[in-house]
Structure 1
Amino acid sequence: MRPVFLFLLAFLGSVGFASAHPLLQNAMWMQFEPTRVHVAVNVSVREIAVAQNLVAKDDSFDGAALSAAAEKHRDYVGQHLKVSADGRALTGQVLRITDPPIFSEPEKTYYQYELEFTFAGPTPGKITVTQDMLREWPYALGTPWDVNYIVRLKRSDANEITTALLRPQQPTDFSTGWSAPSTQASEAPKAEGWRTFREYFWHGVMHILTGWDHLLFVAALVIATMNFWEMVKVIAAFTVAHTITLALSVFAIVRLPPWVVEPVIAISIIFVAVENVVRPQNAHSRLRLAVAFGFGLIHGLGFAGGLLDAMVGLPRIGTWIALGAFSLGVEVGHQVVVLPLFGALAAGRQQLQERFTRPALRYGSMFISLCGVYYLGVALHEQFFAR
């Protein structure tokens, strides 16, 4: 038991008092013009605080210190948002900074930075955008911050707006609709189904691989299974449930506020892990399938929190593509964890039998339950006390 608790303390110390997801979802607007690209990007107070080492006092930031940090942050934005035209890197300049219209949570309070990227010569046919915001600062041990942008872009002589998802360190190409060297207007750029699928697929994968709460719940389910078919059934029950509520949430049929969803997700981790210890026989019954399905409904609403903001502005067909791609990405992310974990447990049971099976279930579940208690404290703090 002692190594388990030592590892737990090291884990909690490295994570700090933070939420279960290092995801920050922002907005960006781009307009293509014959001689420049105009960009307006929202930057949250949380990002500024991380990059400028700004410390909150009593869960809030000093106004003068925050304004000074936001001004200092203009150089960082200019350096970490990169734009190129037909493969030629463009030099950007921050024109102005607009203060937040209202102040709320640090993740939802935004300064807006307006930048201009100019170019000479033929009007480009392709603009490429890359960003690596906060990648040099770890959110937790081995986990970097994940800053995404919902990009809405248009050409200055057209009315059609295209929406895309800009992920960190993933170059994204946008067609301007101009055929260089001619500056005559052509058909406005349109969202590509494959690009939408690819972007939202990876969004789903990374939402899981950086979401410790969901991974802990799945681990609590898998660690108690004794054979492959039992594992398939319990994961299938969880999958069907969270897919249902994710879809219902996307189409605004069923939604619950975060102050309900996040604590219940943490409770689900604790419940399953404790049940593994005190009533291990339940893990092999239909009751466990019901538990996986029931809590899966809540986890689906949690997944929706990482998708709804990222779908704003998508056309109807784009919404369906994004939902399907994100759901598939979530499942791939799950399997990246589930299959190796189940394989390692199966190998241990085969080699060591009872010397491995009971201690692995007991101590592994105790560790998961303590992590669940930690995340419950985090959820309660964020939803009720950090406001």
Structure 2
Amino acid sequence: MRFRTMNYGSWLFSALLMLQSAGAYAHPPGLSSLDVSIKPARIDAKVTFAVQDIEAFAPMDSDLDAEVTDAEREAAKPAIATLLAGQLRVGVDGQDAVLAEPGQVSFDEQNNAHVELRYAAMPKQELLVQSKFLALLPEAHQQYLTIKDGDGTTLTEKMLGKHDDEVKLPLANAAGIAATHSVFAAFGDFFKLGIEHILTGYDHLLFLFALLAVTHSFWPALKIITFFTIAHSITLACAGLNLIELPSSFVEPFIAATIIYVGVENIIRGDHPKGRHWLTFGFGLIHGFGFAGVLQEMDISSGDTGILLPLLSFNLGIETGQIAVAAIVLPMIWWLNNQVEASAKFLRGGSVAVSLMGVFWLVERTML
């Protein structure tokens, strides 16, 4: 029995270390947005990318000093506009539309690039939009496309990817079917995105692991997960109603700090620390802002609901993924915690590893 206990503990500990190694970049850019608006006599398009997704193809650090100045960013704008214009195909009634003027590029405080393009064309039968730039990006990159008419009515929405990078929209009766189609399509796309985000959000998973590592049974774990979910919901409401906005430059380091805190608390206080559910609630609010910021910073919205529907379905996907992970990990945690010889070593060893990874992320997000 002793051999099996130590083997099981070593397996889980090794899995945790592998998870940490894979999570050096806890939030890869990986998401962009494309908004197309059909106006009288023209088509407007706005593409929003994380700068990190673009700079490999339009270098900004011209003096190679590993620091991009405001002047260098400004000088890179024409190259970025040319790059995105060449990679975006807009087809109007079977013919490719041409740009009416050079693209306009701007940057925001979240390190995103916004490229605005204008085409002198007016589709009557069919509109084709193809984002060819996705073929150059990593396999997992996704781009949320929204097409609206001149009145702002959403005609269609779709999550584009490397192998599914275009939409053909017949304009006859498009507005009549838009509402139902857009709502269901948007919900499904963002629900899936939420699941993917939590499964690759290694900082959030380590935080959850550290919270649950002190539990021995179902009810304490359920209380922690429930309070985490309630905190996410409050954050979601605040973000959806634009009541509170926190910059990622604050949220991401704070998330790393929460991981360190919980890991250290596990080491000092051991099993059954009092008030763990309230700690979970408070820190869960910050993690929730991290989830919401993924969509807010990309200017993503959906039909008449704005950012609210994407945030709701995205958050629901996150919770579903979180529950699935907990269902797999918790039986292992409970089994180890109920082994007299292994429980203390498991909690200390796992918590030290979690805390060290939190320190790494804190340094990376504040100094590097």
TM-score normalised according to structure 2 size: 0.74
CA distance in 1, matches of 2:323, 2:228: 13
Q: Structure 1 residues 316 and 67, CA, compared in 2 at 3 Å: closer, same or farther? A: closer
Q: Deviations over 1:334-376 (max 9, x none)?
A: 12322222233345557xx234322222111111111111111
Q: Which residue of 2 aligns with 1:378?
A: 364
Structure 2 residue 30 is matched with structure 1 residue 29: no
Deviation per residue, 1:173-214 (Å, 9 max, x gap): 5643326xxxxx975844622112112212322332232221
CA–CA separation in structure 1 for the residues paired with 2:169 and 2:76: 37
Aligned to 1:161: 153
- Structure 1 residue aligned with 2:172: 178
- Say yes or no: does 1:98 pair with 2:106: no
**SS of residue paired to 1:256:** coil
CA distance 1:118–1:321, shift in 2 (3 Å):
closer
Please, which of 41, 45, 58 is the counterpart of residue 47 of structure 2?
41
Q: Counterparts of 1:215-294 in structure 2 under 5 Å?
A: 215-281=205-271, 284-294=272-282
Q: Is 1:210 the counterpart of 2:215 in the alignment?
A: no
Percent of aligned pairs sharing the same letter: 27
Q: Distance in 1 between matches of 2:330 and 2:89?
A: 42
Q: How does 1:68-107 map to 2 (within 5 A)?
A: 70=80, 73=83, 78=87, 97-101=102-106, 103=107, 107=111
Assess if the C-alpha contact under 8 Å between 1:177 and 1:187 holds in 2: no
CA distance in 2 between partners of 1:326 and 1:10 (Å)? 23
Q: Please report how far the alpha carbon of residue 146 of structure 1 lies from its aligned counterpart in structure 2 after TM superposition.
A: 3.5
Unaligned runs of 5+ in 2: 1-9
Which letter maps to 1:60?
A: V
Distance 1:244 1:38, change over 3 A: closer
> More deviation in 314-323 or 325-334?
314-323
Question: Taking structure 1 as reference, are residues 118 and 99 closer, same or farther at Cα in structure 2, changes over 3 Å only?
Answer: closer
Q: Secondary structure at the match of 2:253?
A: helix
Separation in structure 2 between the aligned mates of residue 274 and residue 313 of structure 1, nearest angstrom: 39
Which shows bigger deviation, 337-346 or 314-323?
314-323
Residue number in structure 1 paired with 2:284? 296
Structure 2 equivalent of residue 305 of structure 1: 293
Q: Distance in 1 between matches of 2:215 and 2:153?
A: 49
> What letter matches 2:80 in structure 1?
A
CA contact (8 A) 2:23 2:203 kept: no
**SS of equivalent to 1:59:** coil
1:295 Cα shift? Answer: 0.8
Shift of the 381–239 alpha-carbon distance from structure 1 to 2, 3 Å rule, reads: same
Distance in 1 of aligned mates of 2:157 and 2:96: 23
Name the counterpart of 1:57.
65
Distance 2:51 2:313 in 1: 30
Matches of 2:353 and 2:281 in 1, distance apart? 23
| SS across alignment from 1:133 | helix
Cα displacement (A) at 1:66 = 3.7
Amino acid at match of 1:354: V
Secondary structure at 1:260's aligned position in 2? helix
Following TM superposition, by how much is the alpha carbon of 1:151 offset from its aligned partner in structure 2, in angstroms? 2.5
Q: How far is 1:27 from its partner?
A: 3.9
Query: Residue deviations 1:48-75, cap 9 Å, x none?
Result: 2134676663430646984686377459
Q: CA RMSD in A?
A: 4.4
Tell me the secondary structure at the aligned position of residue 278 of structure 2.
Answer: helix
> By how many angstroms is 1:216 displaced?
1.6
Q: How has the CA–CA distance of structure 1 residues 160 and 37 changed in structure 2, closer, same or farther, with 3 Å as cutoff?
A: closer
What whole-Å deviation, never above 9, does each CA across 1:239-259 have from its counterpart, x for those lacking one? 111211221221122333334
Once the two structures are superposed, what CA deviation does each residue of 1:22-42 show, in whole Å capped at 9, x if it has no partner? 135544233569xx9875534
Distance 2:219 2:112 in 1: 43
Change (3 A) 1:128 1:222: farther
For these two proteins, the number of residue pairs brought into alignment is 350
* Paired residue type of 1:301: F
1:262-300 per-residue CA deviation (whole Å, 9 max, x = no partner) reads 22221111111111111113xx24411111111112222
**1:110 aligned partner:** 114
Q: Please report the TM-score for the alignment, with normalisation by the length of structure 1.
A: 0.71
Structure 2: distance between partners of 1:268 and 1:247: 22
